[in-house]
Each structure stands twice: as C-alpha cells, then as structure tokens.
Structure 1
C-alpha cells in the first residue's frame, strides 16, 4: 500500500495495525490520536490499546479506530489482553518504553513486526535505573525499527543495540477550537483576571510537578523577580508528586508563583502570557515549546535534550539548573520589547520548518510498508 493512498489496493485487505500506549504521557497520547486519525483516513485499520482513561481524554474511538482497554501494567492479565488484541495485526507500533516492553512480551513467539517510538527518556535512580536500562535493551533489540523524537534519543537507541533507529517526524497535533466566542483581547483579559495577573507580566510554565521539570530552579529565579516593578506572576499548570514541596516553598518564601493544577486550556493560558518558561532537565520535542512558538509567545528554555534542535534561534536558551541565568534572561526580555518581537517572528519561521501531521503519517506509513510488503525476488 502506498503511504499516500486513501484505500487498500484492489483485491488486498486493509493494513491492520495496533497502536500500544501506556497512557502516562500527554505528548505521546496526542501523537497517537493524530496518527490514528491520519491512518484511518488512508484506509488503515487501527486498534489503539490504552487505558480507558486515555480514550476518555483523547477520544481514540472518535478517529474511527477501535479502542481496547489495556491497563498501564505489565502484569500477566494486561499482557494477555494485549496479546489478544494483537492477534490479527500486520504490525504493532508501541509508544514509550513501558508500552513497548508490554508489546515485546505480548508478541513473544510471533513474527509480527514491531515499531517503537520513543517520545521521551525514561527517568529513574538507583536499582530502578538499572531495570530501565535492561528494559530499553530488550525493547530496542526486538523492535524492527526504533523511532526517536530527537537526535539524542536516536543515538541512545543505537548505543543500546537497535538494528534500525531513525529520527521520527512528529507534527504538533492541531488544537481543538475554543468554544469561547469572545474576541482574543477579551479572552486574554479574562484569563489574566482569573489568574490574578493584573497589569504585571505573566509567565507561564506547563508540565507535571515532578523533579525533572526543574521547578525548584524556577522558584529560585522567582525570588529575584520580586524586586521588579511590577512583579511578574509565574503560573505553573500541572500536577505531580512535588506539589506539597512547591506549595510549601511558595508560601514560606512568599514567592509570586501560583500552582493552578492540570489545565485543558493551555492555548488560552499561552495567549494571555508575556513569556513561556521551560525549565526541565531534559526534553525531546516539548509540546509547550512548540505551542509557545506557534502562539508567538517568547520562550525561555533550558539548553537540554532536543530543545536546541527544536527551537533553533527562536528562544532564549539557558543552562539547566542555573537559576541566575534563568532570572537574568527573563529580566532582559521583559525590558526589551524589540527582542521579544524578534523571537515572535523567528518562532513563526521555526514552526514552519517542523513536520506537519500529514508528513508524520506519511513517514510512519512508509515504514509500515517496508515491514509488511512482500519483497520482490532477486
């Protein structure tokens, strides 16, 4: 089947694929929904194996794909459910390390090709870090193709023993239209009022409240911003294990920071922001970075992982863990409207260079073809 065809060739059955998702990563979940929609539109039969809550959040069934509930666990019951779902698949495509490992277990003894996409780097310390390295090695040596969403993930897969590792074309899934019919300026004012930003600068960070996000460094930087007039408000959207620690610091140090929990209106938050902040210790194709550049919001980000390749010269990059550099970059941008305008314009150009959703689907289908089409005799 041609990657760009809309239906299976005459006399052939449609390609049957299973997408396996762990359900714990928003970027990979949105990617799978976009991929499922594009594949179904091209005549591919798609089954998405993911926890029920992931289907509720991303509506895989609404793309025309079949959804099969598979818990985010590698216990025998979950693996058996996945094995049954993959029984008639021509190809299985797993997203993320844990989903990929479950797929390896489910396909044991079968010749079904396995494609793996790494959207992020698994993180752990101590004995668990050793276990994750073993899982990575098992997965990449089993997979026919490993796709990494950044060049360092591709390099990591090759070092770990992948037979075929490639850079993934991953387009930013389109945003669902807002149901708010207010004009943009009125929406911006409404969001800023809700967040308590007043007339001062509004700085937005989005991501789980976990250690690797670097929010402790962001709070360190926020101490310096208390000296500005007006004082910028930092709003962090997300949930996670570090909420009690961050809340305590914000209260004890009287920092101009608000934790607003998980939000479904990130585009509206960005539209109201003066700057976007990305302070993680590692990122691949950060959804926040992409959304910020698309929204023409100046971005300050850590120079880690795939971020430099992703944003090019369209963001201010600072070393991870350097609160002083982060604070200084923000202060400079808030005082320099011309530099902010430069970043907005370069952000639009950089975003235009990223793969589209159609290009993402085309790349994936070409790989599926390689792995499933009969090869001509020499």
Structure 2
C-alpha cells in the first residue's frame, strides 16, 4: 500500500512532531529514519532529537527532518534542552525506554498535556539493582504515555500489566525491504566470493548476528558447537557483532578449539546471509528480531530459541528450540544440515511469512492514524 499526501486535518498548519531517540539501538534508529521519511513526505514537520553519532549513521536530516543533537543522558541540562524542543510540538513520539523516560521528565511527568506516544521496540535487560531501576522506569513511562505502541504482543501485554492506559500492537517494518524476495540468481552469484572471504569454502556456514551480550545466548551457542565438531565437514559459525562479552567468548573459542569466528560489527549482513546455509538466533529474550526478519526474507533457514516475540514473528517458518537448551540447538542444526528437503520447506515458508509483515508505508500509515486520533480537535456537542 502506498500512501499519498492529503490536506492536514489540523487546519492550515502542518502537524508538528518531535521524535526522541536514545541512539543506542540500531533497530529503533532505523525505524525513526524510516518513519521520519514517511511523515515528511506526507507533509508532517518532523524534528528528531538524537545524539550526533546517530545522525551521522542514519542521516535523519536527509529525510527532510530537522535533527537536533540531544545527548543520551537524563541530566538536567539535557532534559531542559529536550523540554524546549518539545514546547511547540503538537505531539511527541519517544522510542525506547531510556528516551521515553527522558521525554516524560521533559514534558513534566504525570502532568503531560502534549500527547506522548511511546514505541516499545524491546525490553531492556539488566540484573540486580539495575533490573529494579529498569522496572521503576518502565512503570513511570507506561503510566504517563498517552499511547504505547508495542512491537510485539508480548510487549503490549507487559505494557498493560505495567499500567499503560492505552497499549496497541504496532509491528515495525524492516526498513529498506519490500515484500519481494531477493533475486535467487544474484544470491548464488555472490555466495562463493563471500564464503571464501569468511573461510567457509567446502563447509557449511552458520551465521549469528547481534551484540555480544549475555541475553543473546552466545554461551549456549558455543556449547552447541562442540557437537558439530564431529560432523564432516565441520560447520563454521560466524558471529557478527560487538559487545562486552567479546574477550570472554574469544577465550572459550581458543581454549576449546571451537569452529567459531567473531568478526565484529558489520554493515553487510545481507551479504553474509547470502553466503550462509543457516541463520542462528539463540537469544534467551528477543522481541521483533531484525536477524529473523532478514533471514526469512533472504530465504535462509533459521534456527531460533522459542522465546519472546520470535514465535509470533516467524510462525512455522523457522526451526524453534527451547530457550537455554544447547543440546536442542545442536540437534536442530545437525538435522537441518542433513535434510535439504526440510531446508527447502523452511525457505518457502519464510517467503510466505515475510509477505505478512507490514511494509514501511503501512507502518507509517498506522503511526499517522494514531497521531491524527490524538491531535484532532474534540467536536463540540
């Protein structure tokens, strides 16, 4: 569906929105850029409040939006700057927990008069005292927001349980992706070169993508690779991402002689997927996974933990295994590598499942309908 510009329902003045972004999450940053482009194209004035490094990476200004540097901080100076930027807005839309909490402070806490929309892309993860702090922030944000848009049903349910007045399901489109699968001939042409560069010539290539953090389940992935060493040829596991666990994971790989390579943060995931035989998602907690969407769209069979929003996202188009079960993950990979028929079935199911996900236009349409609902003048009786 393609939207066309229509006269503003707000009189002669265009709708003025402020998008608040923390800048720490690639998925939410890409969504804000996509949303800004769609809104600007439809006559909405958009100001994006985000750290300068996010602007350098995602070029919000290139969409026609106005970018203002606001640090990823809740100190009084940053909150005051955000308050000034939101003062003339018809509506404020915050993305992610930390950006939403700063916005709540900037708008005056429980006395918010400007409509505040919060998109909850995924749950923040922490342990100990910090986990308690995150729960406090969640309650404050959920109870203050006018509308909470959850990327998965699980997040919507949690928002309601945490006190949200109005929580709605709003799946976020994968930016830059249409409903047409990639060209199979082009993919096959690129595979040999990419596989050679990764050292996977003549052996299966398994791909995992994501930050090297505890909840991603990479410790379980390394446990599973021990079972794959008995295969001939031995599969190579490539992990694209950076994070605090890199040194710990690298030590295990070297000490246990595991067939795993950590290749750091990459901006060519589509090329890596074109070369992969399987995609792996061992996360203990996951919302609307970008890797899962990319894999199904690219016709790469996916093995994923049955956790969070993954079952809702992939349906029957992936091999789901119990979370935190390294043996189940290992067995599923062994079975798939030995069963080309099953891999082919998952590819076809993946294409059908990807066709059910919203496009960028549809995502913009849903968000804009919420904006209109919240900013339309109340008719006099």
Does the alignment reach a TM-score above 0.5?
Answer: yes
In the alignment, which residue of structure 2 is the partner of 1:40?
A: 40
Match of 2:133 among 131, 149, 169: 131
The offset of 1:10, in angstroms, is: 9.1
In the alignment, which residue of structure 2 is the partner of 1:168?
A: 170
Q: Under a length normalisation based on structure 1, what TM-score does the superposition of the two structures give?
A: 0.96
Contact 1:7 1:44 in 2 (8 A): no
The offset of 1:185, in angstroms, is: 3.2
SS in 2 for 1:300: strand
The offset of 1:187, in angstroms, is: 2.2
1:202 aligns with 2:205: yes
Q: Summarize deviations over 1:73-120 as a string: whole Å, max 9, x none.
A: 111111112112112111000000000000001111551110001000
Match of 1:355 among 353, 358, 367: 358
Q: In the comparison of the two structures, how many residue pairs are matched?
A: 371
SS in 1 for 2:92: strand
Q: Summarize deviations over 1:150-192 as a string: whole Å, max 9, x none.
A: 111101000111000000131111159xxxxx95434221111
Contact 2:33 2:58 in 1 (8 A): yes
Contact 2:9 2:376 in 1 (8 A): no
Name the CA distance, whole Å, in 1 between partners of 2:300 and 2:189. Answer: 18
Name the CA distance, whole Å, in 1 between partners of 2:7 and 2:65. Answer: 15
Name the CA distance, whole Å, in 2 between partners of 1:303 and 1:139. Answer: 28
Name the CA distance, whole Å, in 2 between partners of 1:183 and 1:349. Answer: 20
The offset of 1:123, in angstroms, is: 1.1
In the alignment, which residue of structure 1 is the partner of 2:85?
A: 85
In the alignment, which residue of structure 2 is the partner of 1:290?
A: 293
Match of 2:367 among 332, 353, 364: 364
Contact 1:169 1:363 in 2 (8 A): no
Runs of 4 or more, structure 1, over 2 Å off, are 3-11, 182-187
Name the CA distance, whole Å, in 2 between partners of 1:10 and 1:364. Answer: 16
Name the CA distance, whole Å, in 1 between partners of 2:129 and 2:81. Answer: 29
Pick closer, same or farther for the CA change 1:125–1:375 going to 2, 3 Å. Answer: same
Q: Write out aligned runs for 1:1-378 (5 A).
A: 5-8=5-8, 11-108=11-108, 111-174=113-176, 183-378=186-381
Pick closer, same or farther for the CA change 1:175–1:261 going to 2, 3 Å. Answer: farther
Q: Summarize deviations over 1:172-224 as a string: whole Å, max 9, x none.
A: 11159xxxxx9543422111111111110000000000000000000000011
Q: Summarize deviations over 1:266-305 as a string: whole Å, max 9, x none.
A: 0000000000000101111100000000000000000001
| Runs of 5+ unmatched residues, structure 1 | 177-181
Name the CA distance, whole Å, in 1 between partners of 2:149 and 2:9. Answer: 27
| Runs of 5+ unmatched residues, structure 2 | 179-184
Q: CA RMSD in A?
A: 1.5
Name the CA distance, whole Å, in 1 between partners of 2:124 and 2:362. Answer: 27
The offset of 1:377, in angstroms, is: 1.9
